[in-house]
Chain A
Amino acid sequence: EPEVTQTPSHQVTQMGQEVILRCVPISNHLYFYWYRQILGQKVEFLVSFYNNEISEKSEIFDDQFSVERPDGSNFTLKIRSTKLEDSAMYFCASRDRDLATNEKLFFGSGTQLSVL
C-alpha cells in the first residue's frame, strides 16, 4: 500500500536554530496536513494545505512556522527559530479528497524533534 514518508525520523537542534521537516505524501493526494504531539499531550492540528496554499491553520501555527510544496512531491514544515516548547513528534498526513468525503487520513511515521 502506498505510504507517506517523513525524514528525518529524529532531529536534534539548538534553540533558535531553523529546522525543516520533510514529507513525501502519497503521489495522487491533494490535501496535506501537519500535526504534532508533545509528549504526554494530545495530537494537535497545525496546518492544512491544498492547491498550493494554506487552507486552515491553528493558533499554534504562528509566524515562526511555514509550509511549502516546493517541487510537487515534497511537503515541508519549517520552523524558523526553534523554541524548547517546539519539541514534539511531528506528523505529516495526506488525503486524495477533502475531509468532507469522510475518507481516512494517511499518516507518516513522524519526525521526533528535540530542541535543546
Chain B
Amino acid sequence: ILNVEQSPQSLHVQEGDSTNFTCSFPSSNFYALHWYRWETAKSPEALFVMTLNGDEKKKGRISATLNTKEGYSYLYIKGSQPEDSATYLCASITGAQKLVFGQGTRLTINP
C-alpha cells in the first residue's frame, strides 16, 4: 500500500514571506513524484515532475527538491504573493503506473 502524506494541511503566510511544505512517500519502488497546484474552481495544474534523487526544479519563485532514499520532497515558495494561494498536491507513481495523491497543503497568502 502506497501512502503519500503532506504537511502541514493548511498554512497561512504573510505576503512577501517565503514558505515551504513537505510531501513524504514510501521510498521503495519509487518511480516519480508530481507536484500540482489547484486553485479553487480551476483544474489542478502540474508544477513539477521529479524522478532523480537530489533533483531540484524551479519555476519562477517556486522550487522543489527530491530525496528518494528517505522518501520526501519539499516545495518552496519565495516571496509569497496572493496569487500563490491554492492547494498544493503531491502525488507519487509506483510501478503500478497510477498517481497516488497526498491530502494536499492549503496555502493562504495574507495581504
Contacts and interface: CB of A to CB of B under 8 A. Distances in A.
Interface of A: 3-4, 33, 35, 41-45, 48, 55-56, 58, 91, 98-100, 102-110
A79 to B, nearest CB: 20
Interface stretch (B15-23, B40-48, B60-68, B70-78): B40-48
A24 B56 CA distance: 33
Interface of B: 4, 31-32, 34, 36, 41-46, 49, 51, 89, 91, 93, 96-104
A108 B42 CA distance: 8
9 contacts: A35-B101, A45-B98, A48-B97, A99-B32, A99-B99, A100-B97, A105-B34, A106-B46, A107-B43
B101 A99 contact: no
B100 A45 contact: yes
Contacts of B98: 33, 45, 48, 56, 58, 99
Contacts of A44: 101
B49 A104 contact: yes
A41 B103 contact: yes
Q: 9 smallest A-B Cβ distances: which pairs?
A: A104-B46, A43-B101, A107-B44, A107-B43, A109-B43, A99-B97, A45-B98, A42-B103, A102-B32
Contacts of B32: 99, 102
A110 B97 CA distance: 22
Contacts of A41: 103
Nearest to A1: B45
Nearest to A6: B43
Nearest to B102: A42
Contacts of A56: 96-98
B68 to A, nearest CB: 13
Contacts of B99: 35, 45, 99, 105
